[in-house]
Amino acid sequence: MNEDPAHDAFYRLDLAYKGTAYRGFQRQPGDAPTVQSVVEDTLRRLFRDPELHLVTGSRTDAGVHALCLTTSFRTPEARDPDEIAALLSHQLPHDIRALSLRLMPPGTTFNAHEQSCGKSYLYAVNPGDYHLFQKETCWGWPGVTDLSEIRRLFPLVAGTHDFSAFTSPRAAAAGIPVRTVWRAEMRQFGPVVCFYLAGNGFLYNMIRRIVGAMYSVASGALSPADFRNRLEHPFFDPDSCVAPPHGLFLKKIFFRPGEWETDPFDRPPFLG
């Protein structure tokens, strides 16, 4: 590939996918099915460019879904984005969808990783009765019906904290474990309860551990004071609950300051 970006075409590709069948987004050694490998290989065929590489503003773990994950790539030759988008819609599997494909204006670059400034997630739970047809998109909380204590935890999560208690010790030691959560909200849509978190960044398993701790409070294994203590005096508990991946959805990656303020939270993730 030509290393001079002035001679390359830059694209922005927004993807949605159901992560059940994939080992996460990032390409892995061997034949493990990942979202990146499927999309990247399809684009390489369409552009006849074996070096085409997707850059992403975020990654998802095995089994985690995405409502809108923004990626970017560059190629030596510009192609009609509408034509490529139409071909993608026919060639990608049913559980991966190209939401939009944009060709940047000549001389304009775009890097989804370098230019992202935050992201939002949704986590869906099913309190009370078990729902058979939501087993791949919600975490069932059988027997849990009172969510009043959970609702009071969200203002605690918002703000700037050391989230070492909500990641692995290795992840906490690898970098600065302080993150800022701009919004932390909970809403109920019929039988489904959704948790929304938006922030400037999230540690490994951070959301799944926060939701797992909330479940522990709802089920009586932790007190609200225990939850608060993990935020104010972080410590790692190897026995802490980690929410399963299938209830987690990457909602949106932000590229403009303050974009999170208008990010809508008005429906469950599997309704668009």
Three-state SS annotation for the chain? CCCCHHHCEEEEEEEEECHHHCCCCCCCCCCCCCHHHHHHHHHHHHHCCCCCCCEECCCCCCCCEEEEEEEEEEECCCCCHHHHHHHHHHHCCCCEEEEEEEECCCCCCCCCCCCCCEEEEEEEEEECCCCHHHCCCCEEECCCCCCHHHHCCHHHHCEEEECHHHCCHHHHHHCCCEEEEEEEEEEEECCEEEEEEEECCCCCCHHHHHHHHHHHHHCCCCCHHHHHHHHHCCCCCCCCCCCCHHHEEEEEEECCCCHHHHCCCCCCHHHC
10 vs 170 pLDDT, higher one: 10
What are 38-97's pLDDT values in tens digits?
A: 999 999 999 999 999 999 999 999 999 999 999 999 999 899 999 999 999 999 999 999
Residues tagged active-site: 61
Domain 5-103: top CATH class: alpha beta
pTM > 0.85: yes or no? yes
Whether the pLDDT of residue 19 is over 80: the answer is yes
Domain residue ranges of the chain, discontinuous segments joined by +: 5-103, 118-261
Among the listed ranges 2-16, 127-141, 258-272, which one has the minimum average pLDDT value? 2-16
Whether the domain at 5-103 and the domain at 118-261 fall into the same CATH topology: yes
The CATH class that applies to domain 118-261 reads alpha beta
173 pLDDT exceeds 80?
A: no
pLDDT digits (tens, 9 = 90+) for 193-213: 999 999 999 999 999 999 999
Question: What's the mean pLDDT when you consider all of the chain?
Answer: 93
